[in-house]
Structure 1
Amino acid sequence: MHAPAWSLLALLILAHAAVDVGAGALPALAQYLRTELDLTYTVTGLLVTSASLCGAAVQVLAGFVADRRRSLWMVPAGVALTAAGLALAGFAASPWAAAGALGVLALGPALFHPEAVRTAYQAAGSQRATVMGYFTLGGSVGWALGPTVVALLARAFGLPGLALWLAVGLPIAALLAFSQRREGVLQRGELTRGEGEDLWAAYAVLMAIALLRGGVHVGVTVFYPGFLIDRLGQSREAAAAALSLLLAGGVVAAPALGRLADRWGRRGVLGGTMAVLAVVVLLLPFLRPPWTYPAVLILGACSQGVLPIALVLSQEFLPGHTALGGGMQVAASSVAALLATPFGLVADAFGVPAVLRLAAAMAAVGALLAAWLPAARTRGVGAALATGSR
């Protein structure tokens, strides 16, 4: 097996961070647009929902196309579109213009991920698990930095300053296109089927937990920043910093939760983190700075840090459909974005604390559902991740 193509891989990791800066920036950007354009929470929720659904639909289509014909152009195009979407959002002068800009922003990650993941995997040579770990880390760092990038550029130059991200995205896109041409098209890898029968009932419970967890994430990331600004008198920059902490929590917690799951069991760790998530979300309306910041860090650790556990469980429950199982777990966040609109209606009618109470109830239901999951029947999380099952 060939050695890793490190020059191409380094660019892919950097590009993954640049693309997911746009994805992570979406909730913070929605709050800037809400205050700049004097939007209601309902309209803000609609903007986030429409952008998320647009991205989810295009990502499915992009994966369908890329599976049938190698589409390396999607990788640099995704980076360029992400930068273009951020730039357009900075000049949005109406809700319709904002919707269009966020739609372009959502197209970037949707085009990038299917082909970029496959390219990184095939360029990894004999070090696939190590390389895919670095590739995933790039995206996680981008997600965590997204709100801060928006805050820094908007504070220094106003929202039109978001166009400066073009100076980052376009050169990376150009370098990717050049590097891909130089490295050539890599050979397609083969998929293998796991052993055992598919446990569809168990997977349905796991999927319900993923949707509930995604709903909690939407309720907090889209509406809690507005609570910090409107009710607690915090600046938009402070609200964006809280979002970055929330996203960073998942990056920090994932390895630790994986080790705990290996030692104490996946079902217990998943249920326990959902229970902690319910308590923290319920307390959010009563916390004041600086206590809000450690709270959102814990919240992010619980809501996002369990994704590797969920992905491994999905492969254990559906050994005959590992790609479908893992893909649906990732797509759950986009489906859960549909809740942004009803959450917006609740926020306009009863206030953001009512949304947070609903989110806490969803997390509590998820904790109860975790108790219904069957015990794991294969290798632990750490072993599975180490062999590249993620």
Structure 2
Amino acid sequence: MNLALNRAHEVPVRRLGAKRELFFLSATHFLNDVMTTGIVPALLPLYKSTFHLSYLQAGLILFVSMITSSISQPLFGVITDKKPKSWFLPIGICLTGFGLTASGFASAYWLLLILIGISGIGSGIFHPEASRGAYMAAGTARGMAQAIFQVGGNFGQSVGVLLLPLFLIATGLRGLGWFSLATVVGLALVLSILPWYKQSLVQNEARKKTIKGRNHLAGLMLLTGVVILRSWTQIGVAGFLPFLYLHQGFSLKHGDLLTFIFLFAGAVGTLIGGRFSDRISRKWLLLVSMAITVPFAWILPHVHGVLSIIVLFLFGFFVLSSFAVTVVYGQMMFPKNIGLVSGLMVGFGIGAGGIGATMIGWLSDQFGVYTIFNFLAFLPLAAAALCLLLPSEKKLLQNQ
């Protein structure tokens, strides 16, 4: 209650600072994530059959993509925190698009891995600077701004799952050549906002010099733990849901459609959660979102038909309703290191989720996919427990 009053006194009206630029960044984020975390996992069957790969070799493609795109984001964040680089935006989206497009014409497996790595590096370069742009465009509505930016990426991931059955099965890998058009569109979007971006960087660097508070390392470590547990839950469901429904006798297309519903619900949750985070405590919103996720995670493998669709939608909605919240919360803990925080909350979280998916796959081999889905319910429960230890926003504001 006191926090809400403090916020009302601090900023009477929450308004976005640069709407056009923010929506352009979100659209570019959509295109970038379609071409990396969205479509690369879905392409594995095509890569496997084209290059006659083993399951291990196919898995290595996904590993290279995640390591280069997700794990590298905090590293690029540290680099750009010291000296922001506006040219990372066009370079990033171009490398992402080039790597994916060229992978459809690769003549050898080793060349395919290099091209996937180039695409991942482009994504790793793009994300920290694009997140900084969303931060500068936020005005006084920081939660809403991050939600608009993040929902572009989340929606891109969900659409990427659908591109295989709708498009690429018919065209084969050569159909990836059409993504050169997406790259051109993304490049045009970021070039159009570059003058605003450079001017905003000057203003933001001047503002950073006035920040006297200390970074809250323990809080950021706890928050990163919450993000990793949330990511394990999200990627565990998205990655293994088709196997669950195959086990129940449904087709792969049925599983892919339900996976899209789960991810689309997450995008909706991201947008609504970000909007509410500008009005209520981010700590408690994060705690409640994790706690509410638990029952839906637990009952998911035990329901069928329309009820399973409802449960899956609510599961996806609540588990990702805190996506933008964690980014803004982390920025409050490390106010001088926007790039690092964005890389940790978005990139490292997704990369850690991929590592968790490998562990979940091993456990599925040992105990069965039904057992794993029951196990997934404990991950958001552990995340909710960690949320109780997070510093309050009031304390963070006083520290600044």
TM-score interval (norm. to shorter)? 0.7 to 0.9
Whole-angstrom CA distance in 1 between matches of 2:314 and 2:271: 15
Residues 291 and 381 of structure 2 are in contact (CA less than 8 Å); yes or no, is this contact kept in structure 1? yes
Unaligned runs of 5+ in 1: 381-390
The residue that corresponds to 2:382 in the other structure is 365
The alpha carbon displacement at 1:306 in A equals 0.6
Whole-angstrom CA distance in 1 between matches of 2:220 and 2:80: 27
Deviations along 1:272-295, one digit per CA (max 9) or x if unpaired, are 322332332333333334444333
The residue that corresponds to 1:274 in the other structure is 290
The alpha carbon displacement at 1:204 in A equals 3.1
The alpha carbon displacement at 1:307 in A equals 2.0
1:154 aligns with 2:168: yes
The residue that corresponds to 1:384 in the other structure is none
Whole-angstrom CA distance in 2 between matches of 1:264 and 1:184: 30
The alpha carbon displacement at 1:83 in A equals 3.0
The alpha carbon displacement at 1:258 in A equals 4.8
The alpha carbon displacement at 1:209 in A equals 1.4
1:296 aligns with 2:312: yes
Residue 21 of structure 1 aligns to which amino acid in structure 2?
V
The residue that corresponds to 1:25 in the other structure is 39
CA RMSD after TM alignment: 4.1
Residues 84 and 163 of structure 1 are in contact (CA less than 8 Å); yes or no, is this contact kept in structure 2? no
1:340 aligns with 2:357: yes
1:14 aligns with 2:27: yes
Residues 45 and 341 of structure 1 are in contact (CA less than 8 Å); yes or no, is this contact kept in structure 2? no
The alpha carbon displacement at 1:54 in A equals 1.6
From 243, 253, 256, the counterpart of 2:269: 253
1:233 aligns with 2:246: no
Residue 138 of structure 1 aligns to which amino acid in structure 2?
G
The residue that corresponds to 2:322 in the other structure is 306
SS of aligned partner of 1:334: helix
SS of aligned partner of 2:394: coil
Residues 197 and 320 of structure 1 are in contact (CA less than 8 Å); yes or no, is this contact kept in structure 2? no
Residue 80 of structure 1 aligns to which amino acid in structure 2?
C
Higher deviation after alignment, 160-169 or 41-50: 41-50
Alignment of structure 1 residues 320-359 onto 2, 5 Å: 324-330=340-346, 331-359=348-376
1:141 aligns with 2:141: no
Distance change (3 Å), C-alpha of 1:97 and 1:216: farther
The alpha carbon displacement at 1:216 in A equals 1.3
Whole-angstrom CA distance in 2 between matches of 1:317 and 1:63: 15
Higher deviation after alignment, 323-332 or 190-199: 190-199
Distance change (3 Å), C-alpha of 1:177 and 1:134: closer
Residues 42 and 348 of structure 1 are in contact (CA less than 8 Å); yes or no, is this contact kept in structure 2? no
The alpha carbon displacement at 1:355 in A equals 3.1
From 222, 231, 234, the counterpart of 1:205: 222
TM-score using structure 2 length? 0.74
Whole-angstrom CA distance in 1 between matches of 2:69 and 2:331: 24
Distance change (3 Å), C-alpha of 1:102 and 1:357: farther
1:169 aligns with 2:207: no
The alpha carbon displacement at 1:19 in A equals 0.8
Distance change (3 Å), C-alpha of 1:270 and 1:38: farther
Distance change (3 Å), C-alpha of 1:125 and 1:219: closer
From 99, 115, 122, the counterpart of 2:129: 115
Deviations along 1:148-173, one digit per CA (max 9) or x if unpaired, are 23332124434442332223223543
SS of aligned partner of 2:39: helix
The alpha carbon displacement at 1:185 in A equals 5.0
Residues 221 and 243 of structure 1 are in contact (CA less than 8 Å); yes or no, is this contact kept in structure 2? yes
Residues 59 and 114 of structure 1 are in contact (CA less than 8 Å); yes or no, is this contact kept in structure 2? yes
SS of aligned partner of 2:38: helix
TM-score using structure 1 length? 0.76
Whole-angstrom CA distance in 1 between matches of 2:194 and 2:74: 25
Distance change (3 Å), C-alpha of 1:194 and 1:225: farther
Residues 316 and 377 of structure 1 are in contact (CA less than 8 Å); yes or no, is this contact kept in structure 2? no
SS of aligned partner of 1:377: helix
Whole-angstrom CA distance in 2 between matches of 1:126 and 1:35: 49
Number of residue pairs the alignment of both structures matches: 375
Whole-angstrom CA distance in 2 between matches of 1:299 and 1:356: 13
Whole-angstrom CA distance in 1 between matches of 2:56 and 2:305: 26
The alpha carbon displacement at 1:341 in A equals 2.2
Unaligned runs of 5+ in 2: 1-16
